[in-house]
Structure 1
Amino acid sequence: MQLYNKLSAKEREALIEEAGEDRLTLSFYAYAKIGNPKLFRDHLFVAWNSMDVLGRIYVAHEGINAQLSVPAKRFNEFKEFIDNIYFLEGCRLNIAIEQDSKSFLKLKVKVRDKIVADGLNDASFDVTNKGIHVDAATFNQLLDDPNTVCVDMRNHYESEIGHFQGAVTPDVDTFRDSLPIIEKDLEEHKEDKNLLMYCTGGIRCEKASAYYKHRGFQNVYQLEGGIIEYARQVKNQQLENKFIGKNFVFDHRRSERISDDVIAHCHQCGKACDTHVNCANEACHLLFIQCEECAMEMNNCCSEDCMKVNALPYEEQKELRKGKRNSNKIFKKGRSEVLKYKS
């Protein structure tokens, strides 16, 4: 029985091009008590692999966090499968605003300690005592209320290219970093302010809202379905769009445009730009913002040193990468001394 992906990204990309069929990019999450995450993981892989589903899925004792690409013609089959899992029946599926058949090129289902790395001790508070979920219209109303503090629960490289008007955007690398910083900054307003939170699809706010209520915040609200669902409701209901720029997404698309505003800058020349790329040097792979002119001048690299490495024959590059750990560059996204115009 096949329980792991056997095709490379290039092989899968070729198959997708050959098929020439539409695919849907979507995401969903659910907090639930899963007794045997490994068994559940294998069950998902076998079923989704047979449906030609691709994506990145995390399974833990606390639930599931999934970002997927599903063949459009098999969506109903996929939805029926989801609905037959008791804690996923009727689960909201966040369909991507902008579609790309190559958003994911492999099926990866991984067992993790948590579906989102939050650093919290869940046993110390009631994770089910969450904040009030609000739709796009109510979110806009709360955002206009001078008694509201709106907080972006995402990381710096996400909010840099797009965020809600007037939102607090913590300069953090990870979700777990933001939790104590936000609490400290709002310490004096736990009772007299509305704490309004949002993230990409809602999963980070689910845990954060319960945590902040546990920490004494009285009026906690969270955007139902995150930015993805907000954009859909704004379009369908013809509401005012209060999100400016792009929504960062964790697949090959890297972002979805929500408004025409370009609020970020190329990290190499300072020109207005909001296009994230990864450094072409595989030993670096740094995520940063690069305009077309700099991409051409720097050969899609973040620095001259990386350009030199990337120009070497492939086998020489492999030799240079042996035994070297570059995780600090990879995971400190958008932070490097070589990026002159990183704000």
Structure 2
Amino acid sequence: MQLYNKLSAKERAALIDEAGKDRLTISFYQYYKIENPQIFRDHLFLNWDKLDVLGRIYVSYEGINAQLSVPAENFLDFKEHLDSISFLNGVRLNIAVEQDNKSFLKLKVKVRNKIVADGLNDDTFDVTDKGIHLSAKEFNEMLANPNTVCVDMRNHYESEIGHFEGAVTPDVDTFRDSLDIIEEDLKEHKEDKNLLMYCTGGIRCEKASAYYKHKGFKNVFQLEGGIIEYTRQVKAEGVENKFIGKNFVFDHRRAERISEDVVSNCHQCGKACDTHVNCANEACHLLFIQCDDCAEKMENTCSTDCQEIIHLSYEEQKELRKGKHNSNKIFKKGRSEVLKYKK
């Protein structure tokens, strides 16, 4: 019985090209008390692997957080399987604004302590006492209210390429970093201001809204379905778009363009640009913004040091990586002294 992905990303990409069929990029989440996450995880893998589902799915005792790609022709079967699971019956599915058949190249279903790393002790507050959910139209109305403080619950590298007009965009590396910072900055307005939050698909706001209500905020609101659902409603219902730039996504696409505005700059030359790349030096892999001219000049690397390294032999590069653990703890996304124009 196969319970893990056995194909490399390269092999999977070749199969997708060979099949020549459209795929749908989808995301969803649901907070729910799962008694045995490992059994549930295996159940999902066995059923979704048969449907050629690919993606990154986290399962924990508190629920599920899924970002995946499914063949369009298998979508109804996939939806039928979701609906067969009691707490996922009718769950809102966020369909990507821009589709890419290779948004995911492996099926990874992992058991985690939490479906979002928030650093919170859920036993200390009622996680079900959430903020009021708003549609795109309602969100715009609340955004226009002078008594509203709109806060972006995403990280700095997400908000730098796109955000809502007038939103507060905390300069943080992780979701957990933002929680205390926002509370401290708004501590004088817990009762007299509307706290309006948004994130990519809604999952971070779901937990944050309950946390802030626990902390004494009286008027807490969140964008239902996040930026993804907001964009869908804008297009379907003719609602005015208040989001400027790109929406950062955590797959091979890296972003979806929501408006034509370019609100960020190349981290190497300062030119207007909103294209995130990873440094070509595998030992670095830094996520940063790079324009086409700098990409050509620097050969897709973030620094001259990394540019020199990519010209070494594979064995020499492998030797340099020995003993180094490549993670966000060392290589902060979009943060490095070599990025001259990082705001």
Confirm or deny a common fold (TM above 0.5). yes
Conserved? CA contact 1:58–1:115, under 8 Å: yes
Counterpart AA for 2:150:
C
Mapped partners of 1:321, 1:38: distance in 2: 33
Mapped partners of 1:106, 1:254: distance in 2: 16
Mapped partners of 1:342, 1:329: distance in 2: 19
Matched, 1:277 2:277: yes
Query: 2:141 maps to which residue?
Result: 141
Deviations 1:224-257 (A, max 9, x none): 0000000010111111100000000000000000
Mapped partners of 2:198, 2:331: distance in 1: 22
Deviations 1:114-156 (A, max 9, x none): 0000000000000000000000000000000000000000000
Matched, 1:199 2:215: no
Deviations 1:261-307 (A, max 9, x none): 00000000000000000000000000000000000000000001111
Mapping of residues 1-343 of structure 1, within 5 Å: 1-328=1-328, 332-343=332-343
* Counterpart secondary structure, 2:196: strand
Conserved? CA contact 1:194–1:219, under 8 Å: yes
Mapped partners of 1:314, 1:43: distance in 2: 39
Mapped partners of 1:104, 1:319: distance in 2: 30
**Distance change (3 Å), C-alpha of 1:328 and 1:237:** closer
**Distance change (3 Å), C-alpha of 1:79 and 1:328:** closer
Conserved? CA contact 1:284–1:330, under 8 Å: no
Conserved? CA contact 2:27–2:66, under 8 Å: yes
Deviations 1:77-119 (A, max 9, x none): 0000000001000000000000000000000011000000000
Conserved? CA contact 1:288–1:333, under 8 Å: yes
**Distance change (3 Å), C-alpha of 1:72 and 1:206:** same
Mapped partners of 1:296, 1:305: distance in 2: 16
* Counterpart secondary structure, 2:26: strand
Deviation at 1:313, TM superposition (A): 1.8
Deviation at 1:319, TM superposition (A): 2.2
Mapped partners of 1:35, 1:22: distance in 2: 36
* Counterpart secondary structure, 2:281: coil
CA RMSD of aligned residues (A): 0.8
Deviation at 1:329, TM superposition (A): 6.6
* Counterpart secondary structure, 1:30: strand
Mapped partners of 1:312, 1:56: distance in 2: 33
* Counterpart secondary structure, 2:151: strand
**Distance change (3 Å), C-alpha of 1:278 and 1:166:** same
Conserved? CA contact 1:286–1:329, under 8 Å: no
Runs (4 or more) in structure 1 with deviation over 4 Å come to 328-331
Mapped partners of 1:46, 1:167: distance in 2: 42
Mapped partners of 2:186, 2:193: distance in 1: 9
Conserved? CA contact 2:57–2:109, under 8 Å: yes
* Counterpart secondary structure, 1:56: strand
Structure 1 unaligned spans of 5+: none
Counterpart AA for 2:280:
A
**Distance change (3 Å), C-alpha of 1:125 and 1:286:** same
Mapped partners of 1:115, 1:67: distance in 2: 12
Counterpart AA for 2:245:
G
Counterpart AA for 2:242:
K
Conserved? CA contact 2:284–2:331, under 8 Å: no
Mapped partners of 1:337, 1:73: distance in 2: 47
Mapped partners of 2:307, 2:95: distance in 1: 37
Mapped partners of 2:184, 2:225: distance in 1: 26
Counterpart AA for 2:34:
I
Mapped partners of 1:328, 1:219: distance in 2: 34
**Distance change (3 Å), C-alpha of 1:7 and 1:287:** same
Structure 2 unaligned spans of 5+: none
Deviation at 1:330, TM superposition (A): 6.2
* Counterpart secondary structure, 2:288: strand
Mapped partners of 1:250, 1:327: distance in 2: 16
* Counterpart secondary structure, 1:327: coil
